[in-house]
A and B are shown apart, each in its own frame.
Chain A
């Protein structure tokens, strides 16, 4: 019984460790914005908002729907499921009202693309960013 109990607690804590693995929002260093509100972040990643306050275009980078990091990102930072975000993109793509974000295959490609594309925004696992990227915080 005791073993089962501890196994359960261990399992639970592992779950929480998994869920608590944080995500960093990263931008190209030329973006001057310091903070983003949660609803602005949603507008950007649902592709409704297309320019930074200084007028420059926003380039949005995402990983595939099935990637764990993408799932964590949509859940933790946007409060959405990947399929909900995809429907929002599809509604815009196929009505001509908007465009899709750029899909990258890996975190390495995410790092590279966000670092090399002016106006870019993306996300990485906590601590994965490098000197060519900047993290941006979300205000509540």
Chain B
């Protein structure tokens, strides 16, 4: 990614340093070693998926069967004191035409707890940190934490992944516990790196737009947990403005409000998750030529998981996304914006199975039946008139994490 280029050298240096530290710890006596292990840690993951679609391109040339979905990450963290921690992760992500697998600095931050006692904790994080957004955004590239092979696209669009992925800035957090009730608030302020995926999604790719963050992104999440996570509920928001230029209109900006409401209930082997996204988009400037694109995007998914035993899990998910919440099948938007109706929505069913033979290894297989193409990337499907409305998606994934 062009926005990260300068960080590559720095991250390479960091990896060497981590490796050296790992070697140094080998010589310590057992007791000290245990203590040190719980302060300095290195973790990582390797994920490879196979994607096959009957029509349309998703994560590579999937009509012919694609292996272009691969994620590699390694991180290190050092807890200098119980209240002060530094952590960094580098990530290489290949996702078809959307991400090319170049090495990015995923996060690099210091975390300082200002105040802590039996039931409360207050602190801040400085640097590049992952945005806590919905239940899954902050670890969306880690297969071991994802709710399936792909993120539910109704909430966590891969085509605009970078818009809310991480922030260069500050994050404030506070959590408090009353008996079985836990409240956590995170406030985020910083610059979010914008990339070509975002540019090609918010303005017709034919206009060859260029975008940059106008000022800082503000966001946050309020999370409530009952009984150690039996019930979880969250409200997340990110507010940002993108400055945009095109090859046709005068410059303008795009104001985006991104809201997600999340809830989850866990009981015995069952887990039920529902997340809803609401996103008003306002095009300003562009000599008013883009006003017709003003819209409110929405989407939701509902997922039920059943744990068969300690190694196996089944799930099913239904997702729906709409470009305009008042025009669910694209009938009205299609004649105005000149792309087929199917480009304005998606509805899909997914069935999946998860097998975790060891703590480190996970395998998944999934099948989805899809109507609509809204979450397909314009970078992978350049001509919206050549996509198909009805398509199926089959995928396999193997992931190793340590």
Q: Which chain A residues have a beta carbon within 8 Å of chain B's beta carbons?
A: 38-40, 42-43, 46, 48-51, 53, 55-61, 64-66, 71, 78-84, 86-88, 90-91, 93-97, 99-102, 112-113, 116-120
Contact = CB atoms under 8 A, between A and B. Distances in A.
B307 A94 contact: no
Given A57-B39, A96-B111, A96-B130, A80 B144 contact: no
Contacts of A38: 228
Chain B residues touching A, range? 35 or more
A99 B130 CA distance: 15
Identify the 6 closest CB pairs spanning chains A and B, nearest first.
A51-B82, A96-B87, A116-B31, A95-B138, A50-B82, A94-B142
A69 to B, nearest CB: 14
B359 interface: yes
A80 B229 contact: yes
A94 B31 contact: no
A43 to B, nearest CB: 7
A120 B228 CA distance: 22
A74 B30 CA distance: 27
Which one of A39, A78, A118 has the greatest number of beta carbons of chain B within 10 Å? Answer: A39
A117 B35 contact: yes
A57 B177 contact: no
Interface string B381-397: 00000000000000000
Interface of B: 30-31, 34-35, 37-39, 41, 43, 45, 73, 75, 77, 79, 81-83, 85, 87-89, 107, 109, 111, 113, 116-118, 121, 125, 129-130, 132, 138-139, 142, 144-145, 175, 177, 179-180, 182, 227-230, 266, 269, 307, 310, 313, 356, 359, 401
Contacts of B87: 96-97
Contacts of B85: 99
A61 B144 CA distance: 21
20 contacts: A38-B228, A39-B177, A39-B179, A39-B228, A46-B228, A57-B81, A58-B82, A65-B310, A80-B228, A83-B356, A88-B229, A90-B139, A94-B145, A95-B132, A96-B87, A96-B109, A97-B125, A100-B43, A113-B31, A120-B34
Nearest to B88: A96
Contact of A91 (B31, B111, B145, B182): B145
B220 to A, nearest CB: 15
Nearest to B29: A116
Contact of B116 (A51, A64, A82, A90): A51
Contact of A42 (B30, B45, B175, B228): B228
B41 A96 contact: no
B310 A66 contact: yes
Contacts of A53: 117-118
Contact of A101 (B38, B73, B83, B129): B38
A91 B401 CA distance: 12
A94 B89 contact: yes
A46 B228 CA distance: 9
B288 to A, nearest CB: 41
B139 to A, nearest CB: 5
B338 to A, nearest CB: 41
B180 A96 contact: no
A102 B138 contact: no
Contacts of A42: 228
Contacts of B82: 50-51, 55-58
